[in-house]
Copies of this chain bind each other. A is one copy, B any other.
Amino acid sequence: MKQLYTKIHKDSTSNARLGTVTLDHGVVNTPAFMPVGTNGTVKGIYHERVKKIGYNLILGNTYHLYLRPGVEVLDSFGGLHNFSNWKGNILTDSGGFQVFSLSNLRKIKEGGVHFKSHIDGSKHVFTPKKVIDIQKSIGSDICMVLDVCTPPGIPYNAAKEAMNTTHAWAKQAKEYGDQLEGFKGNMFGIVQGNFYKDLRKESAEYISSLDFPGIAIGGLSVGEEKSVFYDFLAHTTEFVDDTKPRYVMGIGSPDYILAAVENGIDLFDCVLATRMARNGAVFTDDGVITLKKAIHKFDHSPLQEGCQCTACQKYSRAYMHHMVKTGEMLGGMMATEHNLTYLYNFMEKIRNAIKEDRFTQFKKDYLERFYSKGN
């Protein structure tokens, strides 16, 4: 098994760690945020611009790509890198979470999960092997095993059953991948266990024992309270093999990112930055700005001093306000570029803070300012 993760430095004030994840399409500096490109495009932005910001690892959704354009199209292009002209790395999820959150029907049987497409209601089955085959067609640099995601509040026995199925599937997927000809993806196992501490520990230890090249923590940020998220993130990470890259799924706001980093997480993804942007909301050091508000109408200042994105380099808040008020595409396009640039810079600052053993202070200062205006 390849060793993907190299630790460069551990922050002396927290569990935050600086490192790299070495993949076929370039080395990723961690902790890293991954923009989400569900359908083979990060919404509202050209791939060349995503790369120019500095990102070299983005996420694709197996569930979506399987339904459209479909495996046959991807195969005919030799994978998603070619099809979508993305030169960096691609991580794909297993589809387990989308089946849980999007599809009209989900029936988990021993062999796999039966579901209906959210697009046309057609029936499909995902098995641990099938989602690896799909991700092989996608050509993912990092792929995920099929898991069973569960909402907060379910009984212990149901959580345990879902975890056990997740474990059985993880083992099947690992064995299948190990002997699958031409398969180059680095497979990550996924820790589940709902919101039960003993299950989380058991799952973290079991998934760690399967010798995956990386480990994801699933089933968090699914609607639970923030304090519960923090608690279970810290508790789970403690038992996850720390020689591997560690990935928490669905984390994208500064407070959650800082919490993840603090606990030694290396990778995270979220649609928040790009979705917010399309709704006219942008990140700044002083909190989130809602561009449609009249307060911006005459404001000549940029969204964020020092940001290198097009909106900040060439436009005012007043122009961005005008774009959002008139419903112009350029508003969403520039806000997307801004939010992704902002998060990239944010991660750079985090990496520097870790390097200089001042992550805890950085986190405190950052959040104090971010929330100071009541955002």
Contacts and interface: CB of A to CB of B under 8 A. Distances in A.
A248 to B, nearest CB: 26
A43 B328 contact: yes
Contact of A297 (B39, B44, B73, B328): B73
Interface in A199-215: none
Contacts of A333: 44, 46, 329, 333
Interface stretch (A22-30, A219-227, A312-320): A312-320
10 contacts: A39-B328, A40-B322, A41-B323, A46-B330, A64-B326, A69-B297, A73-B298, A76-B318, A329-B329, A333-B333
Contacts of A85: 314-315, 319
Contacts of A68: 322, 325-326
A76 B296 CA distance: 13
A73 B41 contact: no
Contacts of A371: none
Interface of A: 39-41, 43-46, 48, 64, 68-69, 72-73, 76-77, 83-85, 278, 297-298, 300, 310, 314-316, 318-319, 321-323, 325-326, 328-330, 332-334
A44 B330 contact: yes
Given A297-B69, A300-B76, A84 B328 contact: no
Contacts of A76: 298, 300, 318
A297 to B, nearest CB: 6
